[in-house]
Structure 1
Amino acid sequence: MKLSRIRAVTALAITAGMCIATAQAGTGSGKITRIYAHEKNGGAGVIMFNVQNHVNPPASCPGHEWAFDANTDLGKAMYSLLLAAASQGKPVTVMGTGDCAAWSDRERPAWIMVDY
């Protein structure tokens, strides 16, 4: 009995945490208006970009741009996706993570989707 109650409370806490994280994450959409690469900490690459609409950026990173680490496989894929979308004039949709781990005042994207 106690184990099932602990599991229920744990599941509720995880679900509530996920809802709070999602509520604090920003979203973006529209055409890409700016993409640039920046050096951070003596060699780590950060890609920053802007889209036409950035709604609900977290208070901890209030800038209206996005930033991510270019040195990871995901970062390289996101960068390629952004360049392809920008070169074709395609709008994108961005979902944020709610944190600014890559750059202090820019939200880090969780995913980017090209809209056709």
Structure 2
Amino acid sequence: MQDWLSGRRRFQLAETMPLTLVTLSAMEHAEAEEVAFYSDAEFDTLVDWARMGRFVLALSAIERPELTLLCVEGLAEITDEVRQLPLVAAGLARFDIRVVMPLRLVEVGGPSLH
């Protein structure tokens, strides 16, 4: 996809800081009591992450138990941190991590939109 986008004259790839998209999903077998036991620790950890600037955007799914975070750390660093989240470490949540980058939809060399 990146090669295809690079060849388009109307797109400009911005390679700045590392960005990762982390999606945390509840496991189907997770019992409500188990999740409740870890929920305060999970919330506190995510609040700490926000204070440290580890992620810049959090999105909660409406139709399923899922949280997506836009993180400003590279793949190896954020993977290590995610594995230590209480619900993940307890086997009650799974995660998916993808490296992403911002994409400006303007002509290269054209006027800036910001």
Q: Same fold (TM over 0.5)?
A: no
- Structure with a larger share of its residues in strand: 1
Q: TM-score, normalised by structure 2?
A: 0.23
